[in-house]
Amino acid sequence: MQDCALYLFGSPRLQYNTQQIALGNGPLAGLLVFLALNQAQPVSRLRLAATIWPDLPEPQARRALSAALYRLRQQCPSCDQWLLANPQTLQLGSIWCDLHVFQQAAHADQTSAWQLACQLYRDELLPDLDAEWLDGPRADLQATFAATIAKLAQHAFAHGDYGLALSSAERWQAFDPFDEQAAMLIMRCQISLGRAHLALVAYHSICERLASDLGVEPMAELTALAEQIVAEQSLRQTTLGGSWQKIPFVGRTHERSLLLDGLDAALSHSGGIVLLDGAAGIGKTRLLHELSQASQARGFQLAWGTAQINGGSSPYAPLDQALAQILDQRMLEQFDPITRLGLAALMPDLPQLNQHDHANRPSLATALFQVLLAVSQQAPLLLVLDDLHWAQRVVFNVLQWSPSQIQALLRSRLLIVLAYRGNESSHMLQALRRMRQELPIQALKLNGLALHDFQHLVGRLWPNQVPIPSMAEIAALHALTAGNPLFLQEHLLHRGDAHEHSFQALVAQRVQALPNLAHRALAAANALGRTWTLVAWRFVAGAEVDQAIPDLLATRLVAQTHAGFQFYHDLIAVAVERSLALELRQAAAQQAADYFAQQPLCRPETIAWAYERAQRWPATIAAYQQAGVQALQAYAYTTALDYANRALELYQRLPMDQRLELSLLGLRQRILVFLGQLDVWRADVERLESLALHLGDQHALLEAYESRIVLSSVDSNAPEMASIAEQALALARTLELPAVEARILNTYGFHLISSAAVQPRNSLPLLEQAVALARSSHDDAVLVASLCSLAFAYRMLGHTSVAQRIAAEALTLTELHPYLYPARGNVLRVLGEVNISYADWETALSTMNKSIELLEALDDSWLLGVGLFMSTFITTAIGLTEMAQATTQRLRQMIRDSKMPPNSNWAFFAQSVTILVALEAGDFEQAETVVQEVQPWLDQAQQQGAGLYLLAAIGALEIFRNRPDQALPLLRRGTAMWQQARSAFLQPILMHALAAQLCGFAAEAQAMLAEAEAMYDQKELLYADVLLQFTRFWVYGDRLHLQNAYTSIQQQANRFRDPTLRDSFINNVKLHGMVLQLQRVAPLAGAIRSMAGLWMRLTRVYGRTQLLSEGGYIQRKVLLVRADVPLGKSLSHTDRVEVVWTLHAPDDNRFHDRSALRMHRLQRLLDEADDAGAAPTDDDLADALAVSRRTILRDMAILQAQGSVVSTRRRRAVGE
């Protein structure tokens, strides 16, 4: 039976093979819906006609039914296989129908079935068809969907899958906007994901709907949850109270002036980043408060976030806290889906985007930058991130921006200030050091106050009734406190013998003077973290804590805030902890851990922090594991890895529990997939596989197999990759997981093409099976990925039109379904490659650039690597060598960062394009350096897929360096690999033919050329046409092929719309320059006696100098001897001067006689050398003009006879 599927929910359509047939909302769609609802038995034609066309007389209705069936058969010729028809009845036979699958899945008892049901219910049945017979079934299906989506959301929340629970609850609420249970679940999901402020947004939204539309109040449970959020969230907000409110602002004139200059510069579109480093208590927050007041006076928006010692509201704290102050739903809706998905960890998730599709993970750095830039365009923005020494590493990762983004920052109205204690976090210092290397950052260091400022501060703080101390006493106090304002204030609280004690001793002195009840209260406060509520304090210390609060406030150990309490300063909290008895601290830690565990708003990392202080290791490990899962869902990979590592580290303290170890290793390997730490990942996968086999956990084993497929590809181990893929596929079939099977087939097929073996023919059946499975399981994400890989394979086989059709289907799917938008990067990459094959270079460049932009935003290393490789191929083909060099450097850096071995496939890919780009740029020193780097691994090249590209690149280098005898053995090995793959990559075999011809092996050259011609189809592989025609000319010696190459260059150039790119394509590509130069040589045999001699001339010109092209000029940089260097002198590098020779200028086109044109160019070369103070030799001139030395001598004589001044190395000022 042909592949047919019937989709009736939403916009009805019929899928016939790969075609999508829209059914509309008319009678034909109604007919099929009615048959689907009554599939169990045949339906009489009379009943059908009367139901679908109730307003028509019976004869007309019967005719309308016949006409509808006729149209159906025209659109889907195979419909008779599933539409059972006889003269009296019709019945829907065996065909996949989303309506039937939805009903079965909705009543199943599995989460995956509920997900499928909700995915299929895109909209109600025929929403635009008004028919009475449809009202009842439509209402029944609506009720079924409502029950299923509610069941799915509640089950996901109960099992900790908060992202799925949130997206399901949001869809539940969209279906029924007044369902308060849906709103309650949305709020709880947002709380569990660390986005309490969004929970309040959900609360206010449901309140507004209930009040405006129904005139009722929300249920009590909903309001109670919102009130709890408000109380807890207040403690997370930046508290601009605390110690600095008690200390006046003095001094800091220089630092304040620099910060104000930064504000003024940002106002003038010169944004920047400032680092503010200083010890605890030195006055960083006080200075930033002054800056914030000045910024608001200048019309700035202010976003302020403060990191917490016991974790923030998300892994990205305090960045999330700051963004919440400036972003709202209205602004977020202005951004594209990738940007919104990238902010999913911090901002509202859009329900149509799948936040858990980690194959399409976003780069938060790119999304964050775009959002900050957009906000600063509305009004200047000051972003302050305080106490960053407590922030997670991922916060610094999202501040790592590209060079183009940095340039945009410098032109923006955005000022970012990062404040921290530089001596308290090693990972922060490493991140900041890297930022200072890459970003134009101003660094400020706050030291103690100068003596005169310190004296001023003493005067401001000193009690009015007490005489101010002498200058000598102030100087002694300044030396004792190192000018720290907080230390000064502490000493002033202990006037008299304060000079005899340290800060710790002074705080301890105050603590010891308090009663035991206050000690218990301080221990509880210390166990609760930086800020806490009275409710929490009472839970940990007991209700009698109320009696201790006045003493703690009076002694300035604790301060009261608008939402609760906090220590007067972080340093005081540390000093208090050291002053309390160990038993007291441990008892408080136990109570605090219990309190945190009972709070629905509490982040798991905060619970882990509390449990770890209480030394309750199993609970600590579980909390860190949950924190790692949530960080992974938020794309905070480095933070997730930190939590997973900590959990595994603490696991060593427990008796062996292999189930727990398996779970922890599974989490860490899912994180390492994205971080590229190959050694750790490989070790984890091996241990995971061993444990899964021992414990019989087949799902964990399947997860290990999927990772091993990728790792074996990285290791260039094609046999192992095939073996593991076979085991993984067998296991997926055993577990009846067709979507997973499709994903494995796609992963294996993709890596089979791209790295491990370059075997597109072998990958083809795998990928076609992956597409079929993805279709049958209706997994659109896997379907799009598999279609891209399949198109990639067909393109590699030279079937470009087939690849284009498949990629177009994938692109259509990403346009139809917004949640598939992230997959567009992969689709565009394939379409860019299709444009390469068609030699539509400008379209290929723009498409590939867009693909790379999307893949960068998704942080997809594998596909981004392929995109960069192809981008280099395109820019080199157009002659944009500087752009190509920058891309190759980036590609090589990616390889180094991932710590791939130098003999891996990906390293070979990067090295091959580096050689080719250096060759095109005339940088033979770099090309030779790379060849030396890969020399130890060259013998392995033939066993690896990317070795084909590497051998071809080195072979091309040797040919252009006029060493075809050294190129030929390498290219023979490359041809052997090519003959196994038979791919559309024709360069190796064409270069082989060229090298063989130059070495005198004409029969071998013709055989290789014949193989390339058998593979070549001009319509499908036009990109190789110039090289093919050029090789034909060289092998056969027929000038017609040279003319064909010249014509192909012109035809391809005419497809460019950008004149700059067109000129670059014609003039900046070495191969094109050689073709153009050969076109000017006439007659060939008269000027150069052999093809080998002609090649030597060409390579001396095109292999030694650098080609320049701009505005229709072709120029070359050459090194010539200075005119003042005596003849006979032994030459050094200082005796030469660089000269730019113009080989072609626009006015050359006025010459129709070749001899006159050559004479004109010769005179120009002589004049340019003379202007530069150089004296060329006859050979220099012959090389430049691609003629013989005899021709130069003859032309020189003619010029002299005409009275021209010709100065060369041996012909000094002849004619003067």
pLDDT digits (tens, 9 = 90+) for 1124-1152: 888 777 777 678 888 888 887 878 878 87
Per-residue pLDDT, 1052: 94
Per-residue pLDDT, 2: 47
Give the pLDDT band of residue 1088 (cuts 50, 70, 90): very low
Total domains in the chain come to 6
Q: Out of 311-315, 710-714, 813-817, which region has the weakest mean confidence (pLDDT)?
A: 311-315
890 found inside a domain? no
pLDDT score of 339 more than 50: yes
What average pLDDT does the chain have? 82
pLDDT score of 186 more than 70: yes
Both 21 and 55 in one domain: the answer is yes
Both 372 and 419 in one domain: the answer is yes
Cα separation, 718 vs 472, in Å, equals 80
pLDDT score of 892 more than 90: no
pLDDT score of 327 more than 50: yes
pLDDT score of 348 more than 50: no
Write the CA distances from 62 to 38, 48, 54, 67, 68, integer angstroms.
19, 9, 11, 9, 10
123 found inside a domain? yes
Q: What mean pLDDT do residues 170-177 have?
A: 87
CATH of the domain at 360: 3.40.50.300
Q: Would you give the distance in Å from CA 535 to the centre of its chain? A: 44
Both 208 and 335 in one domain: the answer is no
> What's the pLDDT tens digit per position in 431-445?
677 677 666 788 889
871 three-class SS: helix
Which helix (H) or strand (E) is 383 found in, with range?
A: strand 381-386
Is the pTM higher than 0.75? The answer reads no
Per-residue pLDDT, 942: 60
In degrees rounded to 5, what are phi and psi of residue 1017?
-130, 115
More confident residue, 357 or 1071: 1071
> What's the pLDDT tens digit per position in 1158-1205?
889 899 999 999 888 888 888 788 777 767 778 888 888 888 888 887
Residue corresponding to tokens 């019967």: 62
Give the pLDDT band of residue 1085 (cuts 50, 70, 90): very low
Cα separation, 1175 vs 1137, in Å, equals 10
Per-residue pLDDT, 1212: 57
Per-residue pLDDT, 701: 92
Per-residue pLDDT, 689: 92
Give the pLDDT band of residue 943 (cuts 50, 70, 90): low
Give the pLDDT band of residue 756 (cuts 50, 70, 90): very low
- Please classify residue 1066 by burial: count the beta carbons closer than 10 Å to its beta carbon, then call 0-12 exposed, 13-18 middle and 19+ buried: buried
Q: What mean pLDDT do residues 925-947 have?
A: 79
Per-residue pLDDT, 695: 92
Both 87 and 119 in one domain: the answer is yes
Cα separation, 828 vs 834, in Å, equals 10
Is residue 386 within 8 A of residue 305, CB to CB? The reply is yes
More confident residue, 898 or 758: 898
DSSP 8-state symbol, 109: S
Both 1166 and 1195 in one domain: the answer is yes
Both 400 and 467 in one domain: the answer is no
In the listed set 236, 267, 286, which residue is the last one of a domain according to the structure?
236
Cα separation, 516 vs 898, in Å, equals 56
Write the CA distances from 772 to 95, 121, 186, 741, 768, integer angstroms.
16, 22, 36, 11, 6
In the listed set 91, 121, 146, which residue is the last one of a domain according to the structure?
146
Q: Is the preceding omega at residue 318 within 30 degrees of 0, hence cis?
A: yes
Per-residue pLDDT, 374: 85
Both 215 and 247 in one domain: the answer is no
Q: How long is the chain?
A: 1216
Per-residue pLDDT, 246: 56
152 found inside a domain? no
Closest of 277, 579, 304 to residue 419, by C-alpha: 277
Give the pLDDT band of residue 270 (cuts 50, 70, 90): confident
In the listed set 91, 115, 146, which residue is the last one of a domain according to the structure?
146
* Max mean pLDDT range (147-161, 511-525, 1118-1132): 511-525
CATH of the domain at 195: 1.25.40.10
434 found inside a domain? yes
Per-residue pLDDT, 726: 93
242 three-class SS: coil
Per-residue pLDDT, 358: 42
Contacts (Cβ under 8 Å, ≥6 apart) of 379:
299, 300, 301, 413
201 found inside a domain? yes
Both 444 and 455 in one domain: the answer is no
Per-residue pLDDT, 837: 93
Is residue 711 within 8 A of residue 682, CB to CB? The reply is yes
Give the pLDDT band of residue 757 (cuts 50, 70, 90): very low
Q: What mean pLDDT do residues 636-652 have?
A: 88
Is residue 749 within 8 A of residue 768, CB to CB? The reply is no
Per-residue pLDDT, 991: 92
38 found inside a domain? yes
Per-residue pLDDT, 416: 92
DSSP 8-state symbol, 76: -
Residue corresponding to tokens 């992230």: 822
Q: Out of 223-237, 553-567, 961-975, 1052-1066, which region has the weakest mean confidence (pLDDT)?
A: 223-237
Q: What mean pLDDT do residues 798-812 have?
A: 91
More confident residue, 770 or 600: 770
Per-residue pLDDT, 1134: 76
More confident residue, 348 or 669: 669
More confident residue, 332 or 1055: 1055
> What's the pLDDT tens digit per position in 851-873?
888 887 666 677 788 889 899 99
Q: Are strands 96-97 and 272-278 parallel, antiparallel or unpaired?
A: unpaired
pLDDT score of 692 more than 90: yes
Contacts (Cβ under 8 Å, ≥6 apart) of 591:
524, 527, 539, 540, 541
User: What residue numbers bound the domain in which 546 lies?
Assistant: 510-601
Residue type, 378: Q
Both 126 and 63 in one domain: the answer is yes
Per-residue pLDDT, 598: 86
173 found inside a domain? yes
pLDDT score of 489 more than 60: yes
Both 395 and 276 in one domain: the answer is yes
Per-residue pLDDT, 1105: 47
pLDDT score of 1091 more than 70: no
pLDDT score of 621 more than 90: yes
Both 80 and 138 in one domain: the answer is yes
More confident residue, 1210 or 233: 1210
Torsion, CA 768, CA 774, CA 776, CA 777, rounded to 10? 160
* Max mean pLDDT range (14-18, 94-98, 616-620): 616-620
Both 128 and 168 in one domain: the answer is no
Give the pLDDT band of residue 245 (cuts 50, 70, 90): very low
Q: What mean pLDDT do residues 36-56 have?
A: 87
Give the pLDDT band of residue 777 (cuts 50, 70, 90): confident
> What's the pLDDT tens digit per position in 709-754?
888 877 777 788 889 999 999 999 998 889 889 999 998 998 888 6
> What's the pLDDT tens digit per position in 60-117?
888 888 888 888 888 788 788 888 888 889 888 888 888 889 999 999 888 888 988 9
Per-residue pLDDT, 843: 93
pLDDT score of 830 more than 90: yes
What's the N-to-C CA distance of the chain in angstroms?
A: 92
